[in-house]
Amino acid sequence: MRVALVDGGGTNIGSVSYALERLGATSRLTADPADILAADRVILPGVGAAGAGMRRLRELGLVDVLGQVQAPLLGVCLGMQLLFERSAEDGGVATLGLVPGEVVGIPASAQVRVPHMGWNSLTGIVDDPLLTGIEEGERAYFVHSYAAPTGPHTLASTDHGGSWSAVVRSGLRWGAQFHPERSSSLGARLLRNFLVEVDR
C-alpha cells in the first residue's frame, strides 16, 4: 500500500511516520502532486496556524491537488482544520473546502484553558470504519486553540468548554483533531483502521 504523507511543513510529520512504521506501514513524505494522486492513502499532518499552513500548501501548488485526491484522505490536528471551508484563525483564512463548515477559536474562561492541551474523552461516537474498535469514553491527546463545532459531519466529539468535533468525515475525507500518533492504543487503532478498514 502506498501511503503519502503530505509535506506541508507540520512538525508532527516525523511522529506520524513513526506511528505508521510501528503498524508495519511504509509512508512516503512528499509534496509531489503525482505521488499524492497515485497513493492508496493520503495523510495531511499539521501543527501551527491555519494561515501559515495554507500559505505552505499554496506555495507547493497542492491546494487543487488535495481536492483531486480520490483515495481516502486523513487530516491530523491542523490538517483536519484545513479540510474545512474556513478558519477564524489569523483574522479569517479560506481553507481547502473539503468538509463543510468553519473552524473557530475555543473561548477561554476561568474554567477553560486555551490552548486545550492534554487527554480528553471521545463521546458521541458514530459507527464508521475509521472508529472500528474505539469505544465511548476512550481518551485521546489534544493540543489546539481552534476547533470545529459539532455538526452533521462529526463522527466523535470532545468537551472543552463546549462540544467540539474530535473526528469528522465528508465522503472519503476524514479528520482527527487530536494527535493519533501521541494517543497510545486509541491512536494506533485509528491509524490502523485508516490503513485497512476504510474503503474507496
pLDDT tens-place values along the chain, 200 residues long: 899 999 987 666 878 888 999 999 989 999 999 999 999 999 999 888 999 999 999 999 999 999 999 999 999 999 999 999 999 999 999 999 999 999 999 998 878 889 989 999 999 999 999 999 999 999 999 999 999 999 999 999 999 989 999 999 999 999 999 999 999 999 999 999 999 999 86
Q: What is the pTM for the complete model shown?
A: 0.95
Q: Determine the pLDDT at residue 10.
A: 64
Q: Omega before 115 cis (within 30°)?
A: yes
Q: Determine the pLDDT at residue 48.
A: 86
- Do 65 and 33 touch, CB atoms closer than 8 A? yes
Beta bridge partners of 28: 4
C-alpha cell at 94: 479560506
Q: Determine the pLDDT at residue 111.
A: 83
List, by residue number, the catalytic residues: 77, 179, 181
Q: Determine the pLDDT at residue 109.
A: 85
How would CATH label the architecture of 3-196?
A: 3-Layer(aba) Sandwich (3.40)
Helix/strand number for the chain, H first, E second = 6, 13
Q: Show Cβ contacts of residue 95 under 8 Å, excluding neighbours closer than 6 positions.
A: 50, 54, 81, 82, 83, 84, 85, 86, 87, 103
Cα–Cα distances in angstroms (integers) from residue 28 to residues 11, 52, 98, in the given order: 16, 23, 23
